[in-house]
Structure 1
C-alpha cells in the first residue's frame, strides 16, 4: 500500500534529503507563524526526519529510513 503525505511535507522531506541541513537553516527556511502550517513538526512527528548532532557542525536534520521510504513511495526518489 502506498503511503501518501501532504505535498508540503513531501517537499520538506525531499529538501532535507538533498543534503544535510543544519538546524538553523531548516528553521529559517521553513518557519511559519501560521499554527495550521506545521510542515516541519508533521515530518518530525511522523518520523520522516530526525535531529542529529554532528561534531564540528552542531545540530543537523536528516532524513530517516521512513522518510526515504515515503519519498520512494511517492516517486520523489528512485
Structure 2
C-alpha cells in the first residue's frame, strides 16, 4: 500500500469527524481548542482546509466562526448517507 493511500485511510475518517462536529458552525477558538493535534503527521484541521471543506468568518461582535463550505456540506451529506 502506498504511503498516500495509507495516510488517506487514517486521516479521511478524522476529517469526516471534524466536518460532522462543526456542522452548522462553531466558534474558531472552540474548534482550535478541541482539535489541536500534537502529531504533525495527522493535521486534521490543515487537511480539511486544504480540501476546501471549511471556511472562516466573523460575526458582528467580532467572534470568528468556522463553517462548512459547499464541499464540506456535501461530504457531511455523504457521510450521513
**What TM-score bracket applies, with the shorter chain setting the length?**
0.7 to 0.9
Deviations 1:41-70 (A, max 9, x none): 111111111111111151110011111111
Q: CA deviation at 1:33?
A: 1.5
Q: Give unpaired runs (5+ residues) of structure 1.
A: none
Q: Where is the helix percentage greater, Structure 1 or Structure 2? A: 2
Point out the structure with max Rg over C-alpha.
2
Equivalent pairs, count: 71
4+ residue segments displaced more than 6 Å: none
Selected match of 2:44 from 39, 63, 74: 39
- Determine the structure 1 residue equivalent to 2:27: 22
CA RMSD of aligned residues (A): 1.6
User: Which of 12, 17, 25 pairs up with 1:11?
Assistant: 17
Distance 2:18 2:74 in 1: 14
TM-score (norm: length of structure 2): 0.78
